[in-house]
Structure 1
Amino acid sequence: MEQYTYDDTPTDEDMLEWLGGLHGGEILTNAAGQPITMPSDYHWRHDLVWVDRQLKAMANTRRFLDHQRLIQPETFGAATVVLAPDPLLERLTTLFTVLVTMFHETNIGQHYRPSPYATSFLWAFGQCEYLHDAGFRQLPAMSHQAAEQVVIDLNQRLEAWYQSMIKPNFAYECGRIRRNSRDNYKRLCELMKALFLCHSRLMVVRVDLGYSECDSPYIDYETARHHREQLCQAFNTHSLFNHLLGYAWKLEWQPKKGFHYHFIFFFDGHQCQEDITKARLINEMWAKAITGGQGHPWNCNLDAEQIYRYNAMGCIDYHDTAKQQGLFKLAKYLTKIDEYAAMLVNGRTFQTSRKPGSQEGPRRGRPRLYQSRPLNSGL
């Protein structure tokens, strides 16, 4: 049977067809119903997230291949056999093809960080000859004995993969995001506590900085990072940030929204009062000056009293312990690392500004007559 060599540099058309097959034939279209050609990294991001979801589902079911049902004659009465269509086998083949293409066959994977599930899967199946042939070539018929050996090998690799996920190092890797989130929360809490020690009133502004629905598929991480860096550079040059005392940001990725940032700003509350206006002006800077019209921001300070159960927007005095507690509850959300963003980028997904240092000198103004309760006794 004729064989051909697999081309490991798929075109955008190839990826559209492949992505359609992975996700039930769904291909993005414009308002007129015409197919939209997406950049290849858009497909790879979606595929990597899809693979992670499939691997987690497989890990929970712990199924194996049934060789008696799989092994079937190539044709009626033939001595050679093939492996019949099987959902688990087809899933293994697809997952293998995506991961090996990204991390072994090409340099695509250098832009991403596979999850522990994907890493352990590649360890167990990366050198599987049958899945490589099934994914990249046309499988020849084989003898019944050879087919049995293939099924045995696949089941042994499945068992090895299942066993790898109950080992301490796997649990340690899975806990990395949780540990990073805990460390980020501690850093942000320390920043806020330090700011309240130096300043009697803070004005808190929170904005979500993303991209329009039609532009988000085309925004890769490098572009999003460049836009974020431009905004951060403006902290030192633009009058809008004259009284900025500190900030923090978190990167997230969602299938429909793509890459987007959550920002929280701390301004001197004695110098700044109009928090909603401040948030609106920052959003306008993002939408127009920084992203050139591609940006789609959200003003979290607008109607915050009605939207959020624990409102921590606007001005907060050092003695307003109730609103400060709301601020620390908000910090829990802002510092929780996004699992998808952690897979799709190799750079930072969270950062805070520096804490105010001793070089700033003593706090100005009259001494506080009393101290507020600890802002966060858990730290």
Structure 2
Amino acid sequence: MQTLGITQSTQVENDALQKENADSPGFRAKLFLLEEDIERHAANLPRALYDFPQTIHERAVLSQVVDGVLEDLETAGADSVSRTSIWNAARQLTNVRKMVELLSGTEGDLFRVDQDTWGFVIRSYRPLANRLRFLLSTTDPRVAQIFPFCELEPHVEVFLGCFRDLLGEPVIDQYSKFEHAQEIVIKLNQGVKFLRERVRSEEFYRKIDALRRSLQKNSKSLLDYIDALFAVYSKLLVIRLDLTYKNAGKIASTEVAHQEVLQAIVDREALFRKLEGLPICKSLVGFAWKLEYGLHRGPHFHVMLFFDGQKSRQDGSLAKAAGQLWQVVTQGRGDFFSCNAHKARYGTALGIGMVEHDDLPKRARLQVAARYLVDVDFVRRLVLRGAYRTLGRGVMPNVGDNKLGRPRAG
């Protein structure tokens, strides 16, 4: 079996791939159109990996973790925080990003104070303003404590900075005194004004552009890698695993969490070394992984494994074997979730299991799943101290020399 090291794609590798690829001229164009169509239809499907607890055991573990977060925040002298606000902080980040994009396209004040029979009322000029107030009330100001080691997406950073004094505040429309209502209206309108200024600035555009280029580069590297594997192998058996820890995610301190991440990196490296020697995995030809740090999962990995489809058939058994090896490597501290054991939940969006080289629809679904692996934590990107990577893949195969797999017509 070939050595499965980690490297970045290079121009030489890309040129070799283009030169040796036997796909027809319209192949990539068709694949791209299929990917777009799949993403549109999959937008409302359950997420490929479960962020929120589904089983009784998971809910029990989460309950303990949340208790720990509450206790740690109290010990640190922070204000009390409810379970609901912790979950809202996790759920609301994507909503925050969308809200900032919408607010950046508005002009003028969105709020005013009117007087009625009962006192003074805060009114808004458009429905978007009402949604903003609700979002502010459900966004916890301690996001940085809830997501250690995470660099928030620029839109989210702007929102938290511009509305810092209003985060988590209940929505109150009726006031007995004009001054009280006017104070809130001024904060709201000024927050929107500052938000527009920052989002429309050249500095913000450069930041967003750099982030997008980084995501596109990582996505292209992984998609080129998968294309290169298909140029060598007539079909691939694709495994998707989430590798987690049973008792991780308790945010006791940044140093404790940092040690958790460092141990996870060591465990991941040990796993891939041992996978190469596992008899059932002799047909393993490639892999990709992503490291994240989650609210109730702590450090965890999203993994794709690629097997030669001519030599392997039982994706469920392979996924289980890899997951059980993770449990051995972590000395029982690790746990895993096999997406291949739950393929029915993905319906027509399924992009794992056996994928034939010339099966355009399924290859497109695989590409979508691969891009998801890269973009999964777009709103809160993991940032580690030191020279540690959070994304990796196997070495690009030598398309010109390697003639493994069933021959295909040119």
Q: Normalising by structure 2, report the TM-score.
A: 0.54
**CA gap 1:233/1:292 in 2 versus in 1, 3 angstroms:** closer
> Counterpart of 1:266?
306
2-structure distance, mates of 1:334, 1:191 = 10
Residues 1:293 and 2:332 aligned together: yes
Q: 1:162 aligns with which of 176, 184, 196?
A: 196
Structure 1 segment 179-194 matched on structure 2, within 5 A: 179-194=213-228
1-structure distance, mates of 2:323, 2:371 = 21
- CA positional deviation for 1:248: 1.1
Output the amino acid matched with 1:297.
F
1-structure distance, mates of 2:271, 2:135 = 51
Per-residue deviation, residues 52-108 of structure 1 (Å, max 9, x unmatched): 4675586457744759989xxxxxxxxxxxxxxxx969959x86x647xx59xxxx9
Output the amino acid matched with 2:382.
V
> Counterpart of 1:27?
none
**CA gap 1:54/1:247 in 2 versus in 1, 3 angstroms:** closer
2-structure distance, mates of 1:22, 1:276 = 36
Structure 1 segment 304-319 matched on structure 2, within 5 A: 304=343, 308-309=347-348, 311-318=350-357
SS in structure 2 of the partner of residue 227 of structure 1: helix
2-structure distance, mates of 1:12, 1:235 = 37
Matched-pair contact (CA < 8 Å) for 1:114–1:343? yes
> Counterpart of 1:343?
380
Residues 1:329 and 2:365 aligned together: yes
Output the amino acid matched with 1:13.
E
Structure 1 segment 1-379 matched on structure 2, within 5 A: 12-14=73-75, 18=79, 20-21=81-82, 23=84, 49=90, 52=93, 55-56=96-97, 59=100, 63-64=110-111, 66=113, 98=142, 111-121=149-159, 124=162, 155-167=189-201, 169-170=203-204, 173-174=207-208, 179-212=213-246, 215-218=247-250, 220=257, 223-224=260-261, 226-238=263-275, 239-240=277-278, 241-251=281-291, 259-286=299-326, 288-302=327-341, 304=343, 308-309=347-348, 311-318=350-357, 321-322=358-359, 325-336=361-372, 337-338=374-375, 340=377, 343=380, 345-347=382-384, 348-357=389-398, 361-363=401-403, 368=407, 370-371=409-410
Output the amino acid matched with 1:18.
D
Matched-pair contact (CA < 8 Å) for 2:271–2:329? no
Paired residues, number? 299
2-structure distance, mates of 1:90, 1:308 = 33
Q: Normalising by structure 1, report the TM-score.
A: 0.58
Greater relative contact order (CA < 8 Å, ≥ 6 in sequence): 2
Structure 1 residues not aligned, in runs of 5+: 1-9, 25-42, 71-86, 136-143, 372-379
SS in structure 2 of the partner of residue 236 of structure 1: helix
SS in structure 1 of the partner of residue 302 of structure 2: strand
Output the amino acid matched with 1:301.
N
**CA gap 1:183/1:344 in 2 versus in 1, 3 angstroms:** closer
Per-residue deviation, residues 315-352 of structure 1 (Å, max 9, x unmatched): 4454xx12x54133122133234564652521554332
**CA gap 1:260/1:11 in 2 versus in 1, 3 angstroms:** closer
2-structure distance, mates of 1:221, 1:47 = 24
Per-residue deviation, residues 206-234 of structure 1 (Å, max 9, x unmatched): 2222344xx35338475356335423333
Matched-pair contact (CA < 8 Å) for 1:335–1:350? no
> Counterpart of 1:40?
none
Matched-pair contact (CA < 8 Å) for 1:207–1:263? yes
Larger radius of gyration: 1
SS in structure 2 of the partner of residue 223 of structure 1: helix
2-structure distance, mates of 1:176, 1:340 = 16
Matched-pair contact (CA < 8 Å) for 1:207–1:297? yes
2-structure distance, mates of 1:234, 1:295 = 11
SS in structure 2 of the partner of residue 161 of structure 1: helix
1-structure distance, mates of 2:263, 2:378 = 16
- CA positional deviation for 1:311: 4.6
Matched-pair contact (CA < 8 Å) for 1:205–1:314? yes
1-structure distance, mates of 2:408, 2:94 = 55
**CA gap 1:48/1:259 in 2 versus in 1, 3 angstroms:** farther
Matched-pair contact (CA < 8 Å) for 2:310–2:405? no
